[in-house]
Structure 1
């Protein structure tokens, strides 16, 4: 057991919550890519059964294990043929951005649920065990989706941030960028696995998740403060 604790990036006792969060986060992320491409006229992902929230269609075993071991990972990339889009560049940007934005939306939903639960203090006394487990799950849902949002915006292949930059560049610069694309994964792996590089790249990036979560929470308080959440929660549970 002690060996497993050292092997995993997260506490061993929290793995059930983390695995469930990953199944949701990765599935929603890849579904968002596939659905956006499908709506813009590209049937590639649809024909491969990727326009679904079924985790079995999206999870990559190696990518999932790595996020448990190294703190980062990936799902199966959704195939997109931009040649089927009416406006390839702008629609390509939207399809690429759909994944990270879906993770941000999951984080917002998680923060909203936590906010609502915190207004119903009686849940912490009458249903303390269940409420504690739900809050713990929501903690990881918010944390990991915020980090996935930021992580996927890194402008290195094969991440979404690179595809967005690629579609924004003029044709000449885009061709020059593609000539060096093979180095992207190499640089990416160096950043992830060399602690000194990670300290000055990924760690400051992931630290942005704290002000992002704080900002969303402040918006919740501003928008929903007048609502009688105790009455709402009681009515919902009945």
Structure 2
């Protein structure tokens, strides 16, 4: 049976610090405590995004552990410590930069899974699927107040911040689920491909994500992609109004915009 020692499963102080920062920033946004509401939103989004990335990578590692790769414990992947990931730049730094740029949730990098320890195609597929599914779950939880109709009385700044967080999680989940080499979506189908096809595709894996973002620069593709994202968000009860003003608050360095309140909207 796959196991890990208690020390290998102990939650990292780095992760707990991130959770604490997220909790304090949520309080600051909710109470409008900060003189700069945008800065509080910025801290909430960045800390929450890094927490979601840690959970994404943890899900890969935990599923791999159950699949037979006991090495993930010794590597520190089960501690939720972002500093333990194989590609900290890809997993944490670049995604945060893309968030700071303000519009899209970049899928994180990958923990190093020793695939030869895992037997069975379904187990390999589940290891790859675990990450995007974590983003889906995170998005559903954050969006719960919207789709449950529980936003009455929620401060506007907090509502907009939640909407922007949901946008980031949905874009990350959809992008990472694409069957493109280098992304988790391809990892799901890879075990079911022939050895010849896998060998032919393998050299392109490092460039898969770059190719996706290259395609997103094409206006028609970009519009189609964000139309799909907005359709998903509407299904979750999150409007373009919420995500737009959440993004504006997040970019606090551009100055705090004069954000209209929900109560001021005229519903036709």
TM-score (normalizing by structure 1) = 0.68
* 2:70 is the alignment partner of 1:43: yes
Aligned counterpart, 2:101? 69
Offset of residue 37 of structure 1: 0.7
Aligned counterpart, 1:164? 188
Aligned counterpart, 1:108? 140
Higher relative contact order (CA 8 A, sep 6+): 2
Distance 1:202 1:92 in 2: 31
Q: 1:91 aligns with which of 123, 142, 147?
A: 123
Gaps of 5+ in 2: 1-37, 86-90, 238-268
SS at match of 1:51: helix
Deviations 1:191-230, CA, capped at 9 Å, x for gaps? 35xx3x2x2335423432222233345xxxxxxxxxxxxx
TM-score (normalizing by structure 2) = 0.61
SS at match of 1:157: coil
Gaps of 5+ in 1: 1-11, 218-238
* 2:152 is the alignment partner of 1:132: no
What is the CA RMSD across the aligned residues, in angstroms? 2.9
Query: Residue 201 and residue 78 in structure 1: after superposition, are their counterparts in 2 closer, same or farther (change >3 A)?
Result: farther
Distance 1:178 1:184 in 2: 10
Distance 2:107 2:236 in 1: 25
Aligned counterpart, 2:263? none
CA contact (8 A) 1:65 1:73 kept: no
* 2:229 is the alignment partner of 1:209: yes
Distance 2:61 2:234 in 1: 30
